[in-house]
Amino acid sequence: MKIDIVEKESPDLSNPLFICGLPGSALVGKLAVDHLVQELPCEHMAEVYLDGMAPQVFIETDGTVSSLNNDLFFWKSRMKSVPDLILYTADAQPATQEAEYLLSETVINYVSKKFKSSQMITLGAFVTGGFSKDPKVYAAATDESLVKNASSKGYEVMTEGSITGMNGILLGIAKLNGMKGYALLGETSGYALDPKASAALLMALEKLVGVKVDLKELNERAKEAQSVLQSVETLRRQQARETGEQSEETNENDDKKKLGYIS
């Protein structure tokens, strides 16, 4: 399997924080990283090409085609209290488990060896199957001290379940390579695009590392998505009644929600 990193720039960064958000349930992590890239703004650092991606191309609005991209961006902080950043996102995750592991290992080796990055955060979705007005942020970490720190910030610490796909694999491989970090997961139904959960992640990120961006555009997208989510919830309840199943009511204070899957 062939993999290439094509560098656009090679910036001088000081122990950058590596933040990842790849496509997954409701695009929660990807929307969050895309918003960071746009609002900070970040500069394009590298493209990663892998022949283990899905066999497809995207059609652009002008009628041209483009390959599935994996992109790395960077941002140099001007504040001592806020770290430099390397951000990683993609159009899609690889098509096979083998490709997921190879890509994760390659990217982690690149940022840890070339840029001496020792800390990372992956952003993803905590899928509940229910709808929440105020999405919670769930957290897991590479060691107990970080778990305690996440708890002190008000995040829900995960004590069971799994983090699927590269949003989980990246953190696991980072730990094996001596890096420390968190997985932050925004609560979502998982049924449709969920910018509200992405905004919750970015507010959590601000609290954790001081990276602050304007959320106005993301909140506007959340309002637009709300009507779709409401339609999906109405349809779900109708189907539940028709099949005689009991529909789970959404309650922001309900601590008994069961985890379906995380990614």
190 pLDDT above the threshold of 60: yes
**Is the pLDDT confidence value at 252 over 60?**
no
Average confidence (pLDDT) over 49-75 = 90
Choose which CATH entry (2.102.10.10, 1.10.40.60, 1.10.132.20, 3.40.50.10900) describes domain 3-245.
3.40.50.10900
Q: pLDDT tens digits, residue range 209-240?
A: 999 999 999 988 888 777 666 666 666 667 76
- pTM value is 0.86
Report the pLDDT averaged over residues 168-181: 96
Could you read off the pLDDT of 10-58 as tens digits, one per residue? 999 999 999 999 999 999 999 999 999 999 999 999 999 988 888 888 8
Mean of the per-residue pLDDT values for the chain? 89
pLDDT at site 253: 43
> Which one is predicted more confidently, 184 or 263?
184
- Reported confidence tier of residue 256, pLDDT bands at 50, 70, 90: very low
* DSSP string for residues in the chain: --EEEEES-----SSPEEEE--S-GGGHHHHHHHHHHHHTT-EEEEEEEETTS-S--EEPTTS-EE---EEEEEE--SSTTS--EEEEEESS--SSHHHHHHHHHHHHHIIIIIS---EEEEEEEEE-SS--SS--EEEEESSHHHHHHHHHTT-EE--SS---SHHHHHHHHHHHTT-EEEEEEEEE-SSS--HHHHHHHHHHHHHHH------HHHHHHHHHHHHHHHHHHHHHHHHHHHTTPPPPPP-TT-TTPPP-EE-
Over range 196-220, report the average pLDDT: 95
Q: What is the pLDDT of residue 57?
A: 85
pLDDT for 173: 97
Taking the CA atoms of residue 35, residue 41, residue 47 and residue 53 in that order, the dihedral angle to the nearest 10 degrees is 0
pLDDT tier, 260 (very low <50, low <70, confident <90, very high otherwise): very low
pLDDT at 236: 65
Domain ranges of the chain: 3-245
Q: Taking residues 121-130, what's their average pLDDT?
A: 92
